[in-house]
Amino acid sequence: MLGEDLFTPTGGVIGDYSLLLEYLKKCRERGLDCSTILPSSSILGEIQGIIEHRSTRFIELVEYLQSVHGKNINCDVCVDAFQQLYRVKPSCEEAIKMLITQLTSWYLEILERLGYVKIKQAWRP
């Protein structure tokens, strides 16, 4: 049964979604449309297809999503959000990579809750 919190990050893959949340907050504050990074059937289907057709490691998904969807992230907003949280000014590429990592984790959690993928957590006993 699908719960109302299907799209709420749980920390099942990574424990920290603060950059993602700050980025979305800053988008709203600036009146920007950052909805292109939100989970959609298109993005989730794309990830599911990749996972079903080949064994894929998390970092490979991050790199793929960065190459395909990284252009949908506003660099200035991402750097500002990163700097606000961590008190360090990163390069645009560093900030976007961290945001994409959090997005990838979020997407995978959603797909797992929907029953489309099973996440192997090799680091856990």
Amino acid (one-letter) located at 97: K
Report the domain count for the chain. Answer: 1
The answer to whether residue 83 is domain-embedded is: yes
The answer to whether residue 124 is domain-embedded is: no
Tell me the residue length of the chain: 125
Residue 18: count other Cβ atoms within 10 Å of its Cβ: 15
The answer to whether residue 2 is domain-embedded is: no
Q: Residue 99: its pLDDT value, please?
A: 97
Q: Kindly report the pTM of this predicted structure.
A: 0.86
The confidence band for 120, taking pLDDT boundaries of 50, 70 and 90, is: confident
The answer to whether residue 5 is domain-embedded is: no
Identify which of 62, 28, 30, 34 has the alpha carbon closest to the alpha carbon of residue 47: 62
Domain that holds residue 38: 18-114
Instruction: Summarize pLDDT for 12-67 with one digit per residue, the tens.
Output: 677 788 999 999 999 999 999 999 999 999 999 999 999 888 878 889 999 999 99
